[in-house]
Structure 1
Amino acid sequence: MPAETDRHERTWMAFPCEGFTLGADAQTREEGYATWTAVAHAVLRFEPVTMIVDPSELTRARRMLDPSIEIVEAPVDEFWMRDTGPTFVVDDDRPGVLGAVDWIFNGWGAPAWSEWRKSAEHGRIAGGHAGAEVISSLLVAEGGGLHVDGAGTVLLTETVQLDPRRNPLADRARVEAELARTIGATDAVWLSRGLTRDYDELGTNGHVDIVATFAAPDRILLHDQQDAAHPDHEVSALIRGEFEEAFEALGRPMTITSLPAPSTLSDDHGFVDWSYVNHLVVNDGVVACSFGDTAADDRARGILGEAYPGREVVTVDARPLFERGGGIHCITQQQPALSAPATSPRHPR
């Protein structure tokens, strides 16, 4: 699996459709449609976008989306494309061959509220449309549950990959073996948990893509809750320590850069998990979350601009996404370009 910072052929998304996730009233639903559309248009500034659209939403999608966005008609219930779609991979031994890992998707552990059976087919649908070789996996997994550096290292959380609602028979060794087979991971860095809000009923049980990401093979961006009144203040410190220990054991120097959380601590449902880590790196740009907090948003934009030199950082108000359970990274999935070589050399084993 190439690094997200490598060149992309396109970004995949899924257009919202009516149901539990979108919202119960017309105003809430319109907010969801508008936010998914805003993210798609922000990405489109930098690279092509392909959108999976449920037949019931074709008219609305064609009205709201830029005409240059490719539409693929297919059934949709959940529309978090990072998790329902495939993980695209390339083959070092066969240049020009694209692969699409089709994980088992069960709606983040098959909770009673989740509507996921239609979107569980998105891995094969997107992979087939992209002309990729589909790689079937028996691992229940989501793209938001892993991050790679493009050089063989993958970030994971125990509460996702070893979740008994997902993989009741799995242990670390089995997960690592499957990730080696499917995405070419040679080193796994395990975190003990994710952010606090992510363990609520509507959470993912600890996705890593809201906690940390690789800006480069030797640099991690880490969510940093600096207010001691928020439980993620302790979580941030815990995860930083786990990273330091893991990379010391691997014998690899690693710079850990803090991405401070915005000042808002809670909403009507409890402590928020608003995170600037949940951004998407695109060709020559970064599409990042904003949260209506001018000082914090500007600070995060500056950190991201420094971490990804030469890329333009644009932002979209992500509060409507987080109200529904995720962020910008969660609703997008990059398809790597096959013509450009990987920028990250493999780590020596």
Structure 2
Amino acid sequence: MSWRMPSETAPQTRTWMAFPAEGPTLGETNAEREAGYAAWTAVAHAVAEFEPVTMVVDPAEVTRARRMLSSEIEILEAPVDEFWMRDAGPTFVLDPERPGVLGAVAWTFNGWGDHWWGTWRKSAGLGRFVAEAAGAELVSSLLVNEGGGIHVDGEGTVFLTETVQLDPRRNPYADRARVEAEMLRTIGATHAVWLPRGLSRDYEDFGTSGHVDIVATMPSPGVVLLHDQRNPAHPDHAVSAELRAFFGEQTDAAGRPFDIVDLPAPATIRDADGDTDWSYVNHLVVNGGVIACGFDEPEADDRARGILEEAYPGRRVITVDARELYARGGGIHCITQQQPEVGA
């Protein structure tokens, strides 16, 4: 068996999402909850312009979901408490030796390290539920990991973060060798690039402890799109410099040094909860397009859109306001999961 996770730029069958459910993540007030529902809905409708969307909805939220979502969006009912599909859901893989077979890696999900505030036990079953619904062959994994904690180039390279996969709250007995062996078995990664850390806010109470999908991604083999915080007053100014130096010393699975493309952060450096982690790196690639995070900063949003258009030639870039997503702990990539086309 030789499973392989394709690049996000490979042809896709659909995008999977989970509809918000009431709880700590959604918000405490009616206004906060309504803003959360609206943000997830806006992303779903943007993705649906390019490819089918399937939304997993908790039974308690089905009436609301049917009212807010376009009829084009498929709704499946299943228990949901955390609705970050990238993390709680499966990672889809293909088998090069069996062109018509879709696989789905169901990582062990424990709410990013079983934090005191976590309500994740319902969504811990999303990996298996989505795998079955997609008609995929289940690839079980005992590794506590999330889809937002990895990025691949489809040619053997995987980005990992020391503070995620080696987090003692996730995998107390793991070391690099064990994690890399599991990455080879499940997603076909032959070369791991271990980032030393993620963005500063990601280490606060409600963070993921360093997910890579808000920091760096590979739009094509040998190229890194890197979050660039240019304001020295923000702690991620130093983090950006550290990671730029780090990637300058790394190679991909083919032995190529990385071409680093800076993706500047928005100008806003603080919100109601402290230092921002607003990042344009957390975008979703879809068939013929890119769904990009927007932050109501026309100059910065336009600049990011231009960089993404160059990084993904031939794709139309759509910007969706992501501030309400970030207020809850993530961005557009975090709430979506692409299903690759088999035989592609």
TM-score, structure 2 as length reference: 0.98
Q: CA deviation at 1:270?
A: 1.2
Gaps in structure 2 of 5+ consecutive residues: none
* Alignment-mate amino acid for residue 134 of structure 1: L
CA-based RMSD = 1.0
> Is 2:16 aligned against 1:12?
yes
Q: CA deviation at 1:244?
A: 1.5
Task: Name the counterpart of 2:302.
Answer: 298
Distance 1:95 1:268 in 2: 49
Residues 27-81 of structure 1: CA deviation (Å, up to 9, x unaligned): 1100000000000000000000000000000000001101111111000000000
* Alignment-mate amino acid for residue 98 of structure 2: R
Kindly indicate whether the alpha-carbon contact (under 8 Å) linking 2:15 and 2:51 is maintained by their aligned counterparts in 1: yes
1:91-240 aligned within 5 A? 91-240=95-244
Residues 235-282 of structure 1: CA deviation (Å, up to 9, x unaligned): 011111111112189731321100000000111221100000000000
Among the aligned pairs, what percent are the same residue? 70
Task: Name the counterpart of 2:325.
Answer: 321
* Alignment-mate amino acid for residue 289 of structure 2: G
Say which of 85, 88, 98 aligns to 1:84.
88
CA spacing shift, 1:248–1:10, aligned 2, 3 Å: closer
Q: Which runs of 4+ in 1 moved over 6 A?
A: none
CA spacing shift, 1:248–1:22, aligned 2, 3 Å: closer
Task: Name the counterpart of 1:344.
Answer: none
Task: Name the counterpart of 2:60.
Answer: 56
Q: Secondary structure at the match of 2:15?
A: strand
* Alignment-mate amino acid for residue 31 of structure 2: Q
Residues 190-221 of structure 1: CA deviation (Å, up to 9, x unaligned): 00000000000000000000000011012110
Q: Secondary structure at the match of 1:108?
A: helix
Distance 2:7 2:148 in 1: 14
* Alignment-mate amino acid for residue 11 of structure 1: T
> Is 2:312 aligned against 1:308?
yes
Task: Name the counterpart of 2:71.
Answer: 67
Distance 2:202 2:194 in 1: 17
* Alignment-mate amino acid for residue 200 of structure 1: E
Kindly indicate whether the alpha-carbon contact (under 8 Å) linking 2:15 and 2:336 is maintained by their aligned counterparts in 1: yes
Q: Secondary structure at the match of 1:50?
A: strand
* Alignment-mate amino acid for residue 192 of structure 2: A
Q: Secondary structure at the match of 1:215?
A: coil
Q: CA deviation at 1:294?
A: 0.9
* Alignment-mate amino acid for residue 318 of structure 2: V
Distance 2:270 2:203 in 1: 15
Q: CA deviation at 1:339?
A: 3.5
Residues 161-209 of structure 1: CA deviation (Å, up to 9, x unaligned): 0000000000000000000000000000000000000000000000000
Q: Secondary structure at the match of 1:135?
A: strand
Residues 266-302 of structure 1: CA deviation (Å, up to 9, x unaligned): 1122110000000000000000000011110000000
Kindly indicate whether the alpha-carbon contact (under 8 Å) linking 2:190 and 2:253 is maintained by their aligned counterparts in 1: no
* Alignment-mate amino acid for residue 136 of structure 2: A
Distance 2:277 2:124 in 1: 26
CA spacing shift, 1:109–1:243, aligned 2, 3 Å: same
* Alignment-mate amino acid for residue 35 of structure 2: E
Q: Secondary structure at the match of 1:134?
A: strand
Task: Name the counterpart of 1:241.
Answer: 245
1:251-266 aligned within 5 A? 251-266=255-270
* Alignment-mate amino acid for residue 231 of structure 1: P
Distance 1:151 1:28 in 2: 42
Distance 1:257 1:241 in 2: 13
Q: Secondary structure at the match of 1:292?
A: coil
